[in-house]
């Protein structure tokens, strides 16, 4: 069963557990509860949140990541269990022993997919996309020409206009992107550890300050999906991170994607990618799976669905645990 993404978005809440439920209180008043076994990830995105030790242990025992967000909805930390996979030791050993050429080929596959999907997003938005499509065909092992960065310089100005600049500290479009990426990162983290891999041993991201290097490697290939959703929100005049836009970005993770085996939720696609990376480490193969279809029509549907729902008002009594 696919877990729900639970966001703690209101200030001064106390989070605890009771008889298999995650309980959220304001003072002595219960504001909501969610069955622990139904949770896929928890995002702490408010001030004055207090967590009981039992709540943290219960989440860790179920392999549920707790993402802590700071300014502008950017993730600053993540709580993750020490172990929760029966083949974890062997896979982490293979991951640690992986040779540089194999890591470079894995990164090549990630960058190729990212550039291909970015070009499809641009095509779906009616923007010039040929430059990104050509870059995707030129990516070599390890991306030595840094075509990923070259693509980004074209991509952002084509998608959101000449004046747009990616700035994690800015509001508006940037804040929407950051929130969507925070949700995506939580799902990627769950997929990585569910595959028995260590999130700190990356194939490209190697910052000593980043404890989730492999998570960031995996999520790179899926960022364009968030970009398309944000484009759809902006096209409908939604420029703020609020209850409605957060709901749309969280629901994106459970959207069905067309694959060779039928329709599969995005979170499952991410898990399949992580599992294919685990196989690459253990079997020394560089075949990385990105099961979702990658073409303009797929992203056009994402944008269209966001637009179709833009006039729907969120009920005042909506349960924040669904966000």
Q: Is 321 helix (H, G, I), strand (E, B) or coil?
A: helix
DSSP secondary-structure letter at 315?
P
Tokens of 305: 């669905």
Give dist(CA 194, CA 303) in Å, integer. 30
Tokens of 14: 């106390």
Give dist(CA 241, CA 175) in Å, integer. 7
Give the strand order in the sheet containing 4-8.
Answer: 4-8, 39-44, 66-69, 75-79
Q: pLDDT tens digit string along 177-195? A: 999 999 999 889 888 877 8
Give dist(CA 211, CA 86) in Å, integer. 22
Give dist(CA 229, CA 157) in Å, integer. 17
pLDDT at position 83: 59
pTM, two decimals, is 0.79
DSSP secondary-structure letter at 12?
S
Fold match, 4-64 / 88-313: no
Q: Do 124 and 300 form a contact (C-beta atoms < 8 A)?
A: yes
pLDDT at position 301: 92
Q: Do 115 and 151 form a contact (C-beta atoms < 8 A)?
A: yes
CATH topology of domain 88-313: 1.20.120
> For residue 252, which of 231, 272, 235, 274 has the smallest C-alpha distance?
231
pLDDT at position 194: 78
**Which uninterrupted H or E stretch holds 21?**
strand 21-26
> For residue 27, which of 7, 53, 48 has the smallest C-alpha distance?
48
Task: Report phi then psi at 205, rounded to 5.
Answer: -65, 125
237: region left, alpha or beta (phi > 0 left; psi from -120 to 50 alpha): left
Q: Length of the chain in residues, anyone? A: 323
> Residues in the chain with pLDDT < 50?
1, 311-323
Structure-token match 């694959």, residue found:
259
Q: Where are the alpha helices (DSSP H) in 125-172?
A: 130-138, 147-160
CATH code at 4-64: 3.100.10.20
pLDDT at position 168: 83
Q: Do 7 and 43 form a contact (C-beta atoms < 8 A)?
A: yes
pLDDT at position 77: 78
Q: pLDDT tens digit string along 16-71? A: 999 999 999 999 999 999 999 988 888 888 888 999 999 999 998 888 888 888 77
Q: Do 270 and 289 form a contact (C-beta atoms < 8 A)?
A: no
Report the DSSP beta bridge partners of residue 14.
Answer: 25, 50
Q: What are the extents of the domains in the chain?
A: 4-64, 88-313
């Amino acid at each position: 069963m696919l877990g729900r993404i639970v966001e703690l978005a209101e200030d001064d809440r106390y989070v605890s557990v009771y008889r298999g439920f995650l309980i959220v209180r304001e003072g002595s008043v219960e504001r909501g509860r969610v069955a622990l076994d139904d949770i896929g990830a928890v995002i702490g995105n408010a001030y004055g949140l207090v967590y009981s030790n039992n709540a943290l242990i219960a989440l860790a025992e179920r392999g549920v990541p707790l993402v802590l967000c700071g300014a502008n909805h950017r993730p600053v930390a993540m709580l993750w269990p020490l172990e929760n996979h029966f083949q974890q030791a062997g896979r982490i050993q293979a991951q640690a022993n992986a040779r540089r050429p194999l890591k470079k080929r894995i990164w090549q596959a990630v960058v190729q997919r990212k550039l291909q999907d970015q070009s499809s997003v641009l095509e779906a938005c009616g923007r010039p996309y040929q430059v990104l499509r050509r870059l995707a065909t030129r990516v070599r092992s390890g991306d030595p020409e840094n075509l990923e960065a070259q693509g980004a310089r074209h991509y952002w100005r084509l998608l959101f206009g000449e004046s747009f600049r990616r700035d994690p500290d800015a509001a508006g479009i940037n804040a929407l992107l950051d929130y969507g990426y925070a949700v995506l990162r939580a799902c990627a983290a769950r997929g990585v550890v569910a595959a028995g891999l260590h999130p700190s041993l990356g194939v490209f991201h190697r910052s000593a300050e980043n404890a989730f290097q492999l998570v960031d490697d995996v999520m790179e290939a899926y960022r364009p999906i968030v970009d398309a959703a944000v484009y759809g929100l902006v096209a409908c005049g939604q420029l703020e991170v609020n209850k409605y836009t957060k709901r749309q970005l969280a629901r994106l993770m459970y959207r069905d994607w067309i694959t060779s085996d039928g329709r599969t939720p995005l979170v499952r696609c991410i898990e399949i990618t992580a599992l294919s990376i685990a196989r690459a480490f253990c079997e020394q193969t560089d075949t990385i799976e990105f099961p979702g279809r990658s073409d303009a029509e797929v992203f056009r549907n994402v944008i269209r669905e966001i637009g179709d729902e833009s006039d729907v008002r969120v009920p005042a009594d909506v349960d924040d645990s669904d966000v």
